Amino acid sequence: MGTKQLEKTYNPSGMEDRIYHRWLEKGYFHAQVNPDKKPFTIIMPPPNITGQLHMGHALDNTMQDILIRWKRMEGYEALWQPGTDHAAIATEVKVTNMLKDKGIDKHQIGREEFLKYCWQWKDEYGSRILKQLQKIGCSADWDRERFTMDEGCSRAVETVFVKLYEKGWIYKGNRIINWCPKCQTSLSDAEVEHVDQDGFFWHIKYPIVGEEGRFVEIATTRPETLLGDTAVAVNPDDDRYKDLVGKMLKLPLTDRVIPVIADAYVDKEFGTGCVKITPAHDPNDFQVGKRHHLEEINILNDDATMNSLCGKYAGMDRYEARKAMVEDLKEQGLLVKVVPITHSVGTHDRCHTTVEPMLKPQWFVKMDEMAKAALEVVKTDDLNFVPEHFEKTYTHWLENIQDWCISRQLWWGHRIPAYYCDDCGEVVVRAGGAPDVCPKCGGRHFTQDPDSLDTWFSSALWPFSTLGWPDDTPELRYFYPTDVLVTGYDIIFFWVIRMVFSALEQTGKSPFKYVLIHGLVRDDKGRKMSKSLGNGIDPLEVIDKYGADALRLTLMTGNAPGNDMRFYWERVENSRNFCNKIWNATRFILMNLERQQAPEHISTEELTPADRWILSKANTLAKDVTENMDKFELGIAVQKVYDFLWDEFCDWYIEMVKPRLYSDDDQTKGAALWTLKTVLIQGLKLLHPFMPFITEELFTSLQDKEETIMRSAWPAFREDWSDPQEEKEIDAVKDAVRAIRNVRTGMNVPPSKKAKVIVVSDDEEVRGIFERNRVFFAALGMASEVKVQKDKEGVAESSASCVIHNATIFMPMEELVDVSKEIERLEKEQKRLEGELKRSDSMLGNERFLSKAPEAKVAEEKAKREKYAQLMRQVTERLQQLRK
């Protein structure tokens, strides 16, 4: 018997915290190097230290927990490596705002003091989200918690930076980067979100020098960048402008002249065929500028105000300057027209500010060689995407990858380990702090580069830096490469690609074998959850109301890799109802086990057909669920366990065995108890990875040989439990019972009213099935007596009947209903339906109604008419049957 009493009603609050605390105390989540076991590793995508648990985290981490718990039960040394990310931009913004509220300016207190506040913030809020993950039951190895800026991870970052720099793959260059004027930092392409915005094409005339009254017309979406133009380009094959190439243009609103150049970059068919070239503010123009040796003029300050080169517009915000310049162009007769357009505009994915392409000296990683290696690894099967089609996204991104801008103008983060000699300007890149002496001039004073590294630079090393790399640790040798990365499809290029090329370059191995991609959790209308829509649902609120198990089941039901899912509160209630169902079933079994203990062991010969059927079903379920789990079909797997426990076990088997449990003389009572307990434990084990808390509570109540379900063995298929013939037989009986129930429901027969049931079949095998299973067929089919025969001899013509595969079932009508009363009731119903049909036909025959009423109203009336007609057919059929 179990070790404790079960509460009368299922109540997750309190129970889940108690169980989780016990798991932590016992160290069940801890994994260690164990040569006797195969390792299985998942690294947790590190949530931001500024993070608050949302539905995306809940789904992502539930999926990881399911896989880890399953593999742990399968006998693997399963490590789920947790940790947090320093989230440079987000944290810097939070801390800056916090200081602002206190009246402190970060630039006045300086870098060192500011970083102290950042570390205080990290200490206070850094593990908040991990504590929230514990609420959903995450069984990560919390003893091994890491942070992207802890000592080990920081050493890994410096090591990689130095190695890539020495290899010539990290360089400092003056190139166009994405600049966020609000956060005042550079961004990588992956951090720029392209959104459609309403804008304009301003068509502007640039006068040709020396040819009075002659102009070229350009069209631009950003007139303010005109001040940084250094040429106008035309296509060399464009006959319209061949005579202009080499001529000079007067740049409007300035005293500068700029050349007309020919470059194949210009699309003859687009716009006017003349393109203004602003090398310091557009990545394509930058390339054109390099080819033609054009001057690069930056006209913006870091806060997107116009700089001192902008004359009367200096100091204006970029949009204010745009307005003023358009007015001035209009006044000078140089504005041709303004055409409204909708176009894609780059914005910072965090603060949603429109990003400015700007020319700035930044640090870059050369991508060509590392991208090749990352492309190769999907061809060799060392890296697999689930679903497979996401490989295309991965490949497309790598084939079009640009050099990665890794420097950020932030203080919080890994500071770039580059030191400039104060005496001669020599750059020294090294790990472990500034050099003692300059290798070039012997100087001893250095200034470190003020920039820090892109956050993704450190999280790209996460799969191996968390296991001790660059040191050759036992953990790294045993747990690496990891097995599965679980992540959303929106982060493939941000993070997955960077982990792959970094791991291949530093360790020679793919960081994981599988990337399991999931979709987004959307609201019940299919919208993305967001602060602006106010439609986000807090997972902690769901847990408070329904428990973590109900939340987890809801997130996994119907979940298919790569697909978005919708969140409905009704589904959480269904999940909670399932918890109640298995809770009450366990209590029912425990009450019966109090009266009589189940035998420890039993031979299959001692089991009844019903026992062998449910045992075989549970056995088949173990095989099917394991196959689904192997393919990462977690939603299908949990649906099968759910259906088995709710339908086969609770609704059918428990009902089948009740007569045996209630009879003191029944010799098979022990077999029933053994089967109930064995099959329920089997079902709970298969359910455990999905719903860890309730399964632990029920498992430890049912038995006391094992102290936790977490460390019990995953059910394996057993030949001696397999009985396909018994499964087939009981399924036939179930079909018959369903058919009988449908007939009785259709005739409003109360469940308490029993009637004779006659099974007629000329198939000897079918007759044998019903003879052998007569006992519970009688109980479930509400039968006063069961007769099984070859033909219809003795069956009254007026009997109610239903057809199943290879047999017909009859029930004497007079035993089911009072025929005269039933005829009277049906005649009344027939009259009512005649009235409804008449009313409906009159409405649908009315042209005025059809033309004036809303489409939905007409459709609703047609659906009602169809329903009444169907009910009328059924009532008429029943009346004919009864009048016979």
Q: Are 704 and 1 in contact (CB under 8 A)?
A: yes
CA separation for the pair 484, 513 (Å, rounded)? 6
Per-residue DSSP letter, 649 = I
CA separation for the pair 884, 215 (Å, rounded)? 99
Residue keyed to tokens 């100087």: 443
Name the nearest CA neighbour of 805 among 772, 756, 766, 776: 766
CA separation for the pair 111, 90 (Å, rounded)? 17
DSSP for 227-251, written as a single string: GG--EEEE-TT-GGGGGGTT-EEE-
Which contiguous run of DSSP H or E holds residue 344?
strand 335-348
250 assigned ligand-binding residue: no
Instruction: Give strand pairing partners of 811.
Output: 800
Per-residue DSSP letter, 403 = P
Tokens found for residue 200: 């304009």
Name the nearest CA neighbour of 91 among 58, 60, 125: 125
- How many Cβ atoms are within 10 Å of 875's Cβ, its own excluded? 19
**Residue 277, φ and ψ in degrees, nearest 5:** -115, 120
Q: Are 778 and 756 in contact (CB under 8 A)?
A: no
Which contiguous run of DSSP H or E holds residue 822?
helix 819-844
- How many Cβ atoms are within 10 Å of 196's Cβ, its own excluded? 9
Conformation bin of residue 311: beta by default, left when phi > 0, alpha when psi is -120 to 50: left
304 to 180, 282, 566, 852: CA distances (angstroms): 9, 15, 40, 57
Name the nearest CA neighbour of 493 among 169, 191, 194: 191
CA separation for the pair 667, 189 (Å, rounded)? 74
CA separation for the pair 121, 50 (Å, rounded)? 9
CA separation for the pair 375, 373 (Å, rounded)? 5
What's the N-to-C CA distance of the chain in angstroms?
A: 58
CA separation for the pair 202, 339 (Å, rounded)? 7
Name the nearest CA neighbour of 349 among 195, 240, 234: 195
837, burial (CB in 10 Å: exposed 0-12, middle 13-18, buried 19+): middle
Q: Are 559 and 518 in contact (CB under 8 A)?
A: yes
CA separation for the pair 841, 716 (Å, rounded)? 61
Q: Are 538 and 520 in contact (CB under 8 A)?
A: no
| DSSP-derived 3-state class of residue 192 | strand
Q: Are 714 and 74 in contact (CB under 8 A)?
A: yes
Name the nearest CA neighbour of 602 among 678, 550, 501, 495: 678
Tokens found for residue 808: 């017909």
Q: Are 148 and 455 in contact (CB under 8 A)?
A: yes
Largest interatomic CA distance in the chain: 118
Angle at 783 between CA 778 and CA 788, to 5 degrees: 70
Task: Give the list of residues 6+ apart from residue 742 with CB closer than 8 angstroms, or none.
Answer: 802
Name the nearest CA neighbour of 519 among 483, 569, 566, 485: 566
Strand order in the sheet with 231-234: 248-250, 257-262, 231-234, 274-277
Instruction: Give binding residues as ranges.
Output: 531
Give the annotated binding-site residues for ATP: 531
